[in-house]
Amino acid sequence: MLTHRPTPEFPRHLEELYARFPFDRSLADDPISEIRFLAHDPRRAEVAGVFAATLAIGNTTAIRGAIVRLFAIAHGDVGWLVAPGHARERARGLASFRHRWIRGDQLDYLSRVLEEYYRHAPSLEVAFLEGWSTGGFAGGLDALARVLRGEGTSARLGAPPRGYRALFPTPMGPGRSPCKRLTLFVRWMVRDRYPDLGVWRRVPTGELRVPLDQHVHWIAYHLGLTGLRARSWTAVEEVSEALRRIDPLDPVRYDFVLCHTGISGDCPKERDLSVCGPCSVRPDCRLWRGRRASA
């Protein structure tokens, strides 16, 4: 099978897509819209980011609804979730919470893990950097996943609830998970450019990897940024490297645009001239290969 590659003009086409993109329209639909107001408060931004990213399964409306419900349980202060002194009230409040297959008892355990972690460390950035220093970005995610799974603290906290540890996969596990939710969390924490929060200061933006959800993967595959049809950590690395060649200092700045081009319906994911006509990356799109003259 022929390998699909974007045209040499792809960087300019992608910049056009970025420049024309209606950020404000899509921001309202994105889970980050529910936590951006905390950007001035690094601890609360981090806690909100962990919970929001953990809940980032399914469509964006349902995800935003789940975040709003969680904040209501926390009396509007996400810091309450990780503050000591009200374990029973927290467990009671979360008991009936559900979002897809995520249950309130799992979020309660996550609260307890974070409460314990913050007793001896100021930020999850510390854990990420420890892993990153020896294992690169994947090592940072692996260290983060191990902290969030409660490894090392479960003796004090008791065994986690059913299915809890599976919420935090690692790219270094046998499944080579793309780790979309943890990668998204790190993007929110590290980038200080719109629309992200930028509360971590020591991880270079050039090191970030793209949160490869199904929308980003679809368009990345069809633009030839990866030849892999299935999402995996290898695909994350391929897409991130392709974007890094265009913007070495901030490759992940294109993520929001690529993701919401799919979510919004701007990209129909099929050949439809009425929609694809104005698409600036149409010359690079696999669906239009060999059809430019007739388009």
Query: Do 51 and 107 form a contact (C-beta atoms < 8 A)?
Result: yes
- Segment interacting with ligand SF4 (CB under 6 A) among 82-90, 123-131, 224-232, 283-291: 283-291
287 touching ligand SF4, by CB under 6 A: yes
Least Å from the CB of residue 35 to ligand SF4: 29
Identity of the residue, 3 or 274, whose beta carbon is nearer to ligand SF4 in the bound complex: 274
285 touching ligand SF4, by CB under 6 A: yes
Least Å from the CB of residue 256 to ligand SF4: 16
Residues in the chain: 295
Least Å from the CB of residue 211 to ligand SF4: 19
Q: Which residue has the tokens 């129909």?
A: 268
Query: Do 121 and 152 form a contact (C-beta atoms < 8 A)?
Result: no
AA letter at 7: T
Spatial distance between the Cα atoms of 250 and 221, rounded to a whole number of angstroms:
20
Identity of the residue, 109 or 288, whose beta carbon is nearer to ligand SF4 in the bound complex: 288
Helix (H) or strand (E) holding 139: helix 124-149
> Can you tell me which of 81, 141, 219, 235 binds ligand SF4, judged by CB under 6 A?
219
AA letter at 262: G
Query: Do 131 and 139 form a contact (C-beta atoms < 8 A)?
Result: yes
Least Å from the CB of residue 27 to ligand SF4: 20
Query: Do 195 and 256 form a contact (C-beta atoms < 8 A)?
Result: yes
- Segment interacting with ligand SF4 (CB under 6 A) among 92-100, 108-116, 134-142, 284-292: 284-292
Beta bridge partners of 103: 98
- Segment interacting with ligand SF4 (CB under 6 A) among 111-119, 142-150, 158-166, 271-279: 271-279
Beta bridge partners of 88: none
Spatial distance between the Cα atoms of 196 and 186, rounded to a whole number of angstroms:
10
> Can you tell me which of 69, 215, 282, 289 binds ligand SF4, judged by CB under 6 A?
282
Identity of the residue, 254 or 288, whose beta carbon is nearer to ligand SF4 in the bound complex: 288
Identity of the residue, 85 or 277, whose beta carbon is nearer to ligand SF4 in the bound complex: 277
Q: How many alpha carbons lie under 13 Å from residue 33 in its C-beta half-sphere?
A: 15
Of 101, 230, 255, the closest CA to residue 177 belongs to 230
Least Å from the CB of residue 278 to ligand SF4: 9
Least Å from the CB of residue 269 to ligand SF4: 6
Instruction: Report the interface residues with ligand SF4, using CB under 6 A.
Output: 219, 222, 267-269, 275-276, 279, 281-282, 285, 287-288
